[in-house]
Amino acid sequence: MNVQACVLAAGLILASGSAMAAPVAATGAPTELTAAQLMDQLGLEESNTAARDLPGWHKPNAMVVVVDSPERLDWFRASLPADVTLWPAKDADDSVIVADAHKDTVSAVVGVGCRPDLIAATPNLHWLQAPFAGIEACARIPQVRDGSYLITNMQGVPSPRIAEHVIAMMFYFARGLDHYAALQRAEQWDRMAVPPSQMWAVSSKTMLVVGLGTIGINTARLAHGLGMRVIATRNSKREGPEFVDYVGLSDELPELLAQADVVVNALPSTAQTRHLFNAAMFARMKRSALFINVGRGNTVVTDDLVAALNDGTIAGAGLDVQDPEPVPPGHPLWSAPNLLITPHSSGFSDVGQSAYWDVLRENMRRYVAGDKMLSVVDLKRGY
């Protein structure tokens, strides 16, 4: 989810030496969470290796950071040694200009995704902090893909809100809200429009979470709280939190699909996950099952999903990510039955941005100190 697009104001001219002040509430007041609280609440993980032990690291002289206000910049500065210069940028495009202007001293850029022009403008770059979770753009740049840079992202920050979005999509179908919304628009009051037998008691259902990362774990926690049985797959290990009844490896997905009433796809986009959900996978699901995708659009064969909805192979689907994205007018997804589409907005909220800034600040502090970093991307794994 592109958190930057939601929170960064354009057109700011930022001073570089004003006195410290708390960021204003309008731009997302900081929560001042400790590192331990950030890691616990967002499910963030430390890197195995400290930044100081990575090839090419040295205490930075200067960093470029995308900020939304002069107060935010002062708040960042307050957490760093006085001899580290922060050059503010108002957005990703501006960061390239600012980095190029200070190319001799800048070794880190914070709040910008991987872009070739930024890499070219920053010959001494060592660390890049992306403002969102997706790192597909990084994998397309050869010198980034080969591990020349330390890349961190925002995995975990929007995860609690994305998990709530999953539950909302589930209830949209489980309680017949799709039918009732249509009746309301038609000004019809029909108590039996949705037969009681089709109204789920979700506490009797099983949810399969495919991809037990931060989104998957948050979703599983909410589903468990509703009384659902939760099973999951993950690529790395069979271990999981206590509220997940069973964790299987990725090769167990076909057999676990048959057990699930709700299948939640929270997978990243990798060579292994691309087009994973195809006609064969949908055929293994219950005809009464729901499919919800909050991972990546290209993990699904869109034509196969549309066909599965049209012929009743599955009962319904909720997509916050799609392939293609944005979905163009006239695309078959728009007319597919029993489908809810949201425009890659599941991470949005009225309270979520403060955590974004907290993570940036904490990782900046850690990088300058040479400590272990949060949410380091493994480009070989693709997440």
> How high is the pLDDT of residue 285?
99
pLDDT band at 248 (very low <50, low <70, confident <90, very high): very high
Residue 204 covered by a domain: yes
Which runs of consecutive H residues, i.e. helices, occur in the chain? 3-7, 35-42, 70-77, 92-101, 116-121, 136-139, 142-145, 159-174, 177-185, 214-225, 253-257, 279-284, 302-310, 332-335, 353-369
- Pick the range with the lowest mean pLDDT from 62-76, 130-144, 156-170, 288-302: 130-144
What is the DSSP secondary structure assignment for residue 289, as one 8-state letter?
-
The percentage of the chain sitting over the pLDDT mark of 90, rounded to a whole number, equals 78
372 Cβ contact list (under 8 Å, min separation 6) = 46, 47, 48, 49, 50, 51, 366
Instruction: Report yes or no: 41 and 359 within 8 Å, Cβ to Cβ.
Output: no
Contacts of 53 (CB under 8 A, 6+ apart): 370
Q: What is the pLDDT of residue 42?
A: 82
Please give the pLDDT value at position 11. 33
Let me know if residue 379 belongs to a domain.
no
Residues 206 and 318 in one domain: yes
131 near 6, Cβ under 8 Å?
no
70 in any annotated domain:
yes
The reported pLDDT for the residue numbered 383 is 72
Answer whether residue 383 is part of any domain.
Answer: no
Kindly state whether residues 113 and 218 are assigned to the same domain.
no
CA triplet 257, 261, 265: central angle to 5 degrees?
Answer: 60
Q: Which residue has the higher pLDDT, 215 or 9?
A: 215
What is the pLDDT, as a whole number, of residue 3?
Answer: 35
What residues are annotated to the active site? 296, 325, 344
Greater confidence (156 vs 324) lies with 324
* Closest by Cα among 92, 42, 154, 109 to 383: 154
Per the structure, how many domains does the chain have?
A: 2
Is 69 or 7 the better-scoring residue by pLDDT? 69
Q: Report the alpha-carbon distance of residue 144 to residue 12 in Å, rounded.
A: 30
- pLDDT score of 19: 28
- Tell whether the model's pLDDT for residue 258 goes beyond 60: yes
Q: For residues 309 and 338, is the Cβ–Cβ distance under 8 A?
A: yes
Tell me, what's the pLDDT at 32?
A: 63
| Together in a domain, 113 and 231 | no
Residue 346 falls within a domain, yes or no?
Answer: no
Answer yes or no: is pLDDT of 22 > 70.
no
Instruction: Judge whether 111 and 66 are in contact, CB under 8 Å.
Output: yes
More confident residue, 271 or 73: 73
Domain with 66 in it: 3-157+351-374
User: Which residues, in sequence order, are CB contacts of 299 under 8 Å at separation 6+?
Assistant: 265, 267, 269, 273, 274, 275, 276, 277, 293
53-57, 69-73, 251-255, 346-350 — which is least confidently predicted? 346-350
Domain containing residue 168: CATH number:
3.40.50.720
Q: Note the pLDDT of residue 231.
A: 99
Q: Is 237 exposed, middle or buried (0-12, 13-18, 19+ CB in 10 A)?
A: exposed
CB atoms within 10 A of CB 36: 8
Helix (H, G, I), strand (E, B) or coil at 65: strand
Residue that the structure tokens 């001042």 belong to? 32
Q: Does residue 285 belong to any structural domain of this protein?
A: yes
Q: What is the pLDDT of residue 26?
A: 34
| 110 and 253 part of one domain | no
Is residue 229 assigned to a domain? Answer: yes
Q: pLDDT per residue over 328-374, tens digit each? A: 999 999 999 999 999 999 999 887 678 899 999 999 999 999 999 99
What are 178-230's pLDDT values in tens digits?
Answer: 999 999 999 999 999 999 999 999 999 999 999 999 999 999 999 999 999 99
Do 105 and 73 lie in one domain? The reply is yes
pLDDT, mean over the chain: 90
Structural domain includes residue 382: no
Distance between CA 159 and CA 150 in Å, rounded?
A: 23
pLDDT digits 0-9 by tens, 97-139 = 999 999 999 999 999 999 999 999 999 999 999 998 888 889 8
Q: Same structural domain for residues 215 and 134?
A: no
**Do residues 76 and 194 share a domain?**
no
Whether 292 and 171 share a structural domain: yes
More confident residue, 273 or 21: 273
Kindly state whether residues 310 and 365 are assigned to the same domain: no
Residues 6 or more apart in contact with residue 285 via CB below 8 angstroms:
257, 258, 260, 263, 291, 313, 314
Q: Running DSSP on this structure, what letter comes out for residue 85? A: E
Is the peptide bond between 324 and the residue preceding it cis, with omega within 30 degrees of 0? Answer: yes
The pLDDT of residue 145 is 85
Nearest to 110 by CA among 360, 373, 377, 370: 360
Give the whole-number percent of the chain exceeding pLDDT 70: 91
228 and 368 part of one domain: no
- 131 and 151 within one domain: yes
Considering the domain architecture, whether residues 165 and 263 belong to the same structural domain is answered as: yes
